[in-house]
Chains A and B, each alone.
Chain A
Amino acid sequence: MHLTLHIWRQQNATSAGGFETYRVDDVLPEMSFLEMLDVLNERLTREGREPVAFDHDCREGICGMCSLVINGAPHGPDRATTTCQLHMRRFHDGETIYIEPFRATAFPVLKDLVVDRSAFDRILAAGGFITARTGSPPDANSVPVPKVDADLAMDAAACIGCGACVAACKNAAAMLFVGAKVSHLALLPQGKPERRRRALQMVQQMDAEGFGGCTNERECEAACPKGISVANIARLNREYLWASLADPE
C-alpha cells in the first residue's frame, strides 16, 4: 500500500506547529497504525530528518498512552479501538490520512503528536480513591458485593484514561473520564463512605483544569476505545447534585 500522510509537527510547547506531508510506501495490511509510523520514522532517520514524536507503550490497547486524532477522529475510524490496535487493513491503497494530536486547552501539545494529560492525574489526586491504609482492611469476603454492582463497577473501571473523550468533545469536557471513576467507586460498598467528598472535589478540580461543560452531545461515548457509557455521566451528575445538596460547603 502507498499512503499520503499529513502529520502535525511542532517542535515544542511554545512553538507554532503545522502539517507536513509524507509519502509512505511498503505499508502492509497486517501492520498496526503505529507500526506504519515506525516505518516512516525509520525512513526519516535514514534521511537525516527528525522522526515524528508520538506517545505509545503497551501497543495492545490497555495502557492509554497512545493518542492521535486520525482523519478527525480520536483513535481513528474503528469503534472501541485504540490507535495502537488499529490495523492498516482498515485503509486502502492511495489513501490520504491526516494525523493530529488530541486537542484541548487542558491537554497542551508538548511536541508533534505528544500532549500533556497530567490534568487527569490531578483530578484523581483530588479525590479519585478510597482511603484504606495498608494492613487495615478486613477479609475480602467479609463484605459481599452483588454481582451486578461488581460488574457495573468493572464496566466503569475499564477506562484507560487516554483522554479521547476530551478530544472528541466540542467543549473539551472531561465528564466521561470523571464519571467513570466516580461511578466505579460509588457502586462498590467500599467506596460509599467517601462518596460525597469524592464527587465534589473531583468536579472542582476538573473545572479548575479548564475542561469544558457537558452539553450531552455523546461524542465522548462514541470515541471511547473502551466503550464507557454516558450512563456514567448521569451517575456523576446525580452524585454531584446529591453531594452539593447535602453538603453546605
Chain B
Amino acid sequence: MSTPTASATNSRLDAKCPSGPLAERWDKHRFELKLINPANKRKFHVLVVGTGLAGASAASTLADLGYQVSAFCIQDSARRAHSIAAQGGINAAKNYQNDGDSVRRLFYDTIKGGDFRARESNVYRLAQVSGNIIDQCTALGVPFAREYGGLLANRSFGGAQVSRTFYARGQTGQQLLLGAYSALMRQVGSGRVKMFPRHEMLDLVLVEGVARGIVTRDLVSGEIESFAGDAVLLCTGGYGNVFYLSTNAQNCNVTAAWRAHLRGAYFANPCFTQIHPTCIPVSGDHQSKLTLMSESLRNDGRVWVPKAQGDQRPPGQIPEAERDYYLERRYPSFGNLAPRDIASRAAKERCDAGFGVGAGGRAVFLDFGDAIQRDGVEAIRARYGNLFEMYERITAEDPYQQPMRISPAVHYTMGGLWVDYNLESTVPGLFVLGEANFSDHGANRLGASALMQGLADGYFIIPYTLGGHLAGRKLPKVDSSRAEFREAVEAARERTRRWLSIRGKRSVRSFHRELGLTMWDHCGMARTRDGLLAGLAKVTALKDEFHRDLCVQGTSEGLNQSLEHAGRVADFFELGELMIRDALQREESCGGHFREEHQTKDGEARRDDANFCYVAAWERDSAGTGWQMHREALNFENVQLATRSYA
C-alpha cells in the first residue's frame, strides 16, 4: 500500500476565517461580503441538491431573496429527507432557563465535545445564530414543547450541564423539517423553486474549474440528464450507511459528495464517525437498519450491567448491590449524560470484558425503574411514550416493566467535504451544507447539534456567503449543451450500464452487508494499525469482487432500485478505503476516532495536539488511483486545549 503523502498546507485550503475578536468575526465578514442587487438576483440560478434541513432551509431562503432555485432529492417528496427521523432535539443558546448558558458556553461545549478538532470561527458563528433558528422555526409553525405558561420548554442532552435543547415530543427533526419543507413548498407554489423529487445526482459538472451543473438520473423514467446553474449546493447528508447497518435511512448515501470529490473537492476527516450509545441491538442477519433510542432517554434512564461476568439472570432479579452503573462510576459529574463517544466506548469496554447482556453479550441495560418510581409512569409516558412504544414494537418487550437492552450503532458522520468559512469547497462555486460537510463538530458531535448546524447553514449562512461567489466571480452563461455537460452525462450512462452488464452472481445487498461488517470490524469503535491494514486489504478485495461478480436484474429504463443501490455501494467501497487510510494516518485518539495504541491507562482517549491538531483534507490524485493528504492547521486562540474530562 502507498503511504499517504502529506504536503504542507496548500493554498486551496485557505479557510478564509476573518480575524479579530471571535464575537465580531461573522459581523465583520458579512459586512465585507459583496451584495447582489435585488433585481439581479433573479438572473442567478442555484442548484440545491438535497432537501433535508440544510437543503430545504437554503432553497426556501434563497428563493425568498429572489434567486431562481432548482432543488433535487431522492425521495418522492422533499418532506421525507432523512432529517425527518431526528428525535431528541435542537440546541440553542437562548438561556431561557437562566441556568448559565450563553453563546460562549455553547461554543465551548461544542469545541470541547468535538475534542478540539473543529475551527473556532465556524463554531462560534454556529452558536451565535442558534437563537435565530428557534425564532425562525417557531414562526413557521413548529410546535415546540411548551410549559403551562405558554413559553418554550427545554431538556438536557449529553455533553452539556445546561438545559438548552428545544424539542417537539420525540419528533423534533420531523417538525423542523416540516417547517422548512412548508417554506420550500411556498416557494414552489410561487414558481421560484422548481422541485425535482426522485432525482439522484450522479455527477458534478465543472466549466473552467467552477461548479456549473449536475448530472441526475430520474429514478422513475431512468433518464440521465444535466442541469446548468451558477452555483451548486450539496446538502446531501452523511455517509453512515457505508457501515450497512446504521441508524440512517436506507437511501442515505455518499454518491453526490463522492462524485464531487472525484471532480476535485477535498474530503475532510473521513474517519470521524459517530457511534451512538443507545440503539436497539441487532437481532439477526436479516437486519436492514438499526433503530436509535433517543439520547434524551439518558436524562432519566440509568445505564448498567451486572457486576458479575456472564450473569444471565433477568434484570429484575439482579439486586441493586450487584449492578454496575459504570457511567456514573467512571464519570461522576456527567454520569449517564456523558458524551456519545465516551458512553459508546464505555459500553464496548464492559461488553468486551464479558459483562454484556442479551444475545451474544453485546448489549447493556438502560433502566427507567428509578425514574418511574420517582416521577410515576404517567410522567415517563408523557416524556418518552413514543420511544417506549417503538422499542416494544421492535423487541416485543415492555420497557415500563423491564430495562431496555441497548447497544452502540453507527449514527452520524463528522467527516465530509472540506469547506471554508463560506461553506465553499475546494471547487469554486460548490458549497456544502449540513451533515455533508465536515465543518463544525470536530471529532465528535454533541447531541442536538446536527439539526442546529443544518439549519444554521441553510437559513443564516449560505444566504450571505453565496453572494460572495456570485458577485465576486465572472460567471459566463453556460447551458447543458456544452461539451462538459455532454461528457458527464455520457460517463454517468456508461457507469449505470456497467452495473447491469456484469451479470455476476451476488446481489448488491450482499456486497453492501459484507462491506459494512468489514468497516465495523476494522474501522469502527476501536481501531488499531494492524486491524486497519487488514481491513484495507479486505475492502479492496471485496471491491474487486463487486466489479466482477455483481448481479443487477432489470434494465436502466424505468424504476430500478437495485440499480440505484449498486451505484451507491460502488462509491461506498472507495469511501471505505479512504476512511481506513485516514484512520491509519491519525496516530492519536480523539472523539469518535479511537486508536487502541493511543489511550491512557484508564482507557481514555489520548490526543496528540503537537502532531495532529489539523484537519486532514484528502485530494484524489489525477490518476484516480490514490490520494494526497493536505493539512489545515487548527489554531486555538480563544480556548485552551485541554484534556477532555467528563469525570
Chain A contact-residue range equals: 35 or more
The one of A50, A117, A120, A124 that contacts B553, using a Cβ cutoff of 8 Å: A50
The one of A30, A121, A144, A150 that contacts B145, using a Cβ cutoff of 8 Å: A150
Question: Once the chains bind, are B554 and A50 in contact (CB under 8 Å)?
Answer: yes
Given known contacts A35-B287, A118-B76, A62 and B188 CB-to-CB distance under 8 angstroms: no
| B221 and chain A: residue at smallest CB distance | A12
Given known contacts A50-B553, A62-B84, A111-B558, A132 and B139 CB-to-CB distance under 8 angstroms: yes
The one of B60, B84, B558 that contacts A12, using a Cβ cutoff of 8 Å: B558
CB-defined contacts of B19 to chain A, threshold 8 Å = none
Question: Once the chains bind, are B135 and A139 in contact (CB under 8 Å)?
Answer: yes
The one of A55, A89, A154, A185 that contacts B169, using a Cβ cutoff of 8 Å: A154
Question: Once the chains bind, are A131 and B186 in contact (CB under 8 Å)?
Answer: yes
Contact with A along B288-306 (1 / 0, CB 8 A): 1101000000000000000
Restricting to A149-178, which residues have a CB under 8 Å from any CB of B?
Answer: 150-151, 153-154, 157-158, 160-161
Contact with A along B167-190 (1 / 0, CB 8 A): 011010011001001110110110
Choose, from B149-157, B337-345, B571-579, the stretch at the interface.
B149-157
Restricting to A212-226, which residues have a CB under 8 Å from any CB of B?
Answer: none
- Indicate whether A31 reaches chain B with its CB closer than 8 angstroms: yes
A-B contact count (CB 8 A): 218
Question: Once the chains bind, are B138 and A137 in contact (CB under 8 Å)?
Answer: yes
CB-defined contacts of A188 to chain B, threshold 8 Å = 141, 143
Question: Once the chains bind, are A133 and B64 in contact (CB under 8 Å)?
Answer: yes
CB-defined contacts of B518 to chain A, threshold 8 Å = none
Task: Determine the distance from Cα of A44 to Cα of B552 in the docked complex, in whole angstroms.
Answer: 11
| A143 and chain B: residue at smallest CB distance | B138
CB-defined contacts of A128 to chain B, threshold 8 Å = 182, 185
CB-defined contacts of B140 to chain A, threshold 8 Å = 129-130, 132, 190
CB-defined contacts of B309 to chain A, threshold 8 Å = none
Given known contacts A12-B558, A121-B78, A140 and B134 CB-to-CB distance under 8 angstroms: yes
Restricting to A227-243, which residues have a CB under 8 Å from any CB of B?
Answer: none
- Indicate whether B329 reaches chain A with its CB closer than 8 angstroms: no
Restricting to B529-566, which residues have a CB under 8 Å from any CB of A?
Answer: 551-554, 558-562
- Indicate whether B617 reaches chain A with its CB closer than 8 angstroms: no
Task: Determine the distance from Cα of A87 to Cα of B354 in the docked complex, in whole angstroms.
Answer: 31
Task: Determine the distance from Cα of A53 to Cα of B250 in the docked complex, in whole angstroms.
Answer: 14
Task: Determine the distance from Cα of A190 to Cα of B146 in the docked complex, in whole angstroms.
Answer: 15
CB-defined contacts of B151 to chain A, threshold 8 Å = 141, 144
Restricting to B453-488, which residues have a CB under 8 Å from any CB of A?
Answer: 459-460, 463
Given known contacts A38-B286, A188-B143, A46 and B507 CB-to-CB distance under 8 angstroms: yes
CB-defined contacts of B80 to chain A, threshold 8 Å = 57-58, 63-65, 161
Task: Determine the distance from Cα of A157 to Cα of B286 in the docked complex, in whole angstroms.
Answer: 33
CB-defined contacts of B60 to chain A, threshold 8 Å = 134
CB-defined contacts of A151 to chain B, threshold 8 Å = 143
Question: Once the chains bind, are A57 and B139 in contact (CB under 8 Å)?
Answer: no
- Indicate whether B42 reaches chain A with its CB closer than 8 angstroms: no
- Indicate whether B509 reaches chain A with its CB closer than 8 angstroms: yes
- Indicate whether A42 reaches chain B with its CB closer than 8 angstroms: yes
In terms of DSSP, what is the predominant structure of the interface of chain A?
A: loop
Restricting to B348-398, which residues have a CB under 8 Å from any CB of A?
Answer: 390, 393-394, 396
Contact with B along A100-142 (1 / 0, CB 8 A): 0000000000110010111011001111111111111111110
Task: Determine the distance from Cα of A81 to Cα of B144 in the docked complex, in whole angstroms.
Answer: 24
- Indicate whether A76 reaches chain B with its CB closer than 8 angstroms: no
- Indicate whether B505 reaches chain A with its CB closer than 8 angstroms: yes
* Chain B: minimal CB distance from A57 (Å): 4
Given known contacts A114-B559, A134-B136, A161-B79, A125 and B188 CB-to-CB distance under 8 angstroms: yes
| A186 and chain B: residue at smallest CB distance | B141
Task: Determine the distance from Cα of A138 to Cα of B135 in the docked complex, in whole angstroms.
Answer: 6
Task: Determine the distance from Cα of A164 to Cα of B284 in the docked complex, in whole angstroms.
Answer: 30
The one of B64, B178, B220, B463 that contacts A157, using a Cβ cutoff of 8 Å: B178
CB-defined contacts of B182 to chain A, threshold 8 Å = 124, 128-130
- Indicate whether A45 reaches chain B with its CB closer than 8 angstroms: yes
Question: Once the chains bind, are B96 and A190 in contact (CB under 8 Å)?
Answer: no
CB-defined contacts of A42 to chain B, threshold 8 Å = 507, 509-510
| B190 and chain A: residue at smallest CB distance | A125
Question: Once the chains bind, are B76 and A65 in contact (CB under 8 Å)?
Answer: yes
Question: Once the chains bind, are A137 and B249 in contact (CB under 8 Å)?
Answer: no
CB-defined contacts of B284 to chain A, threshold 8 Å = 28, 30-31
Question: Once the chains bind, are B150 and A39 in contact (CB under 8 Å)?
Answer: no
- Indicate whether A6 reaches chain B with its CB closer than 8 angstroms: no
| A31 and chain B: residue at smallest CB distance | B286
Given known contacts A53-B559, A145-B150, A59 and B250 CB-to-CB distance under 8 angstroms: yes
| A158 and chain B: residue at smallest CB distance | B171
| A112 and chain B: residue at smallest CB distance | B559
Central interface residue in B76, B77, B288, B551, by most chain A CB within 10 Å: B76
Task: Determine the distance from Cα of A85 to Cα of B505 in the docked complex, in whole angstroms.
Answer: 31
- Indicate whether B645 reaches chain A with its CB closer than 8 angstroms: no
Given known contacts A130-B140, A150-B144, A117 and B76 CB-to-CB distance under 8 angstroms: yes
Contact with B along A190-225 (1 / 0, CB 8 A): 110000000000000000000000000000000000
The one of B79, B146, B507, B551 that contacts A147, using a Cβ cutoff of 8 Å: B146
- Indicate whether B283 reaches chain A with its CB closer than 8 angstroms: yes
Central interface residue in A46, A132, A160, by most chain B CB within 10 Å: A132
Question: Once the chains bind, are B132 and A147 in contact (CB under 8 Å)?
Answer: no
- Indicate whether B251 reaches chain A with its CB closer than 8 angstroms: yes
- Indicate whether B17 reaches chain A with its CB closer than 8 angstroms: no
* Chain A: minimal CB distance from B76 (Å): 6
Central interface residue in A50, A57, A85, by most chain B CB within 10 Å: A57
Task: Determine the distance from Cα of A44 to Cα of B509 in the docked complex, in whole angstroms.
Answer: 13
* Chain B: minimal CB distance from A18 (Å): 18
Given known contacts A111-B559, A132-B183, A134-B460, A35 and B136 CB-to-CB distance under 8 angstroms: no
* Chain A: minimal CB distance from B31 (Å): 16
Task: Determine the distance from Cα of A151 to Cα of B60 in the docked complex, in whole angstroms.
Answer: 27
| A81 and chain B: residue at smallest CB distance | B393
CB-defined contacts of B188 to chain A, threshold 8 Å = 121, 125
Question: Once the chains bind, are B61 and A134 in contact (CB under 8 Å)?
Answer: yes
Task: Determine the distance from Cα of A132 to Cα of B186 in the docked complex, in whole angstroms.
Answer: 10
| A78 and chain B: residue at smallest CB distance | B393
Question: Once the chains bind, are B220 and A110 in contact (CB under 8 Å)?
Answer: yes
* Chain A: minimal CB distance from B255 (Å): 15
Task: Determine the distance from Cα of A85 to Cα of B553 in the docked complex, in whole angstroms.
Answer: 28
Question: Once the chains bind, are B390 and A61 in contact (CB under 8 Å)?
Answer: yes
Question: Once the chains bind, are B136 and A146 in contact (CB under 8 Å)?
Answer: no
Task: Determine the distance from Cα of A247 to Cα of B36 in the docked complex, in whole angstroms.
Answer: 39
Task: Determine the distance from Cα of A190 to Cα of B394 in the docked complex, in whole angstroms.
Answer: 37
- Indicate whether B197 reaches chain A with its CB closer than 8 angstroms: yes
Task: Determine the distance from Cα of A45 to Cα of B553 in the docked complex, in whole angstroms.
Answer: 6
Could you list which residues of chain A lie within 8 angstroms of chain B, going by C-beta atoms? 11-12, 28, 30-32, 34-35, 38-39, 41-42, 44-46, 48-51, 53, 55-65, 81, 85, 87, 89, 110-111, 114, 116-118, 120-121, 124-141, 143-147, 150-151, 153-154, 157-158, 160-161, 184-185, 188, 190-191
> 23 A-B residue contacts at CB 8 Å?
A28-B286, A31-B284, A45-B551, A45-B562, A46-B505, A49-B553, A51-B561, A62-B85, A64-B77, A64-B84, A111-B559, A124-B182, A124-B185, A129-B182, A132-B139, A134-B460, A134-B463, A135-B459, A145-B150, A150-B144, A158-B171, A158-B174, A190-B139
- Which 4 A/B pairs are nearest by Cβ-Cβ distance? A144-B150, A137-B139, A125-B189, A129-B182
Known: A28-B284, A51-B553. 9 other contacts (CB 8 A): A46-B551, A53-B559, A111-B558, A120-B77, A121-B185, A124-B182, A132-B139, A146-B146, A185-B141
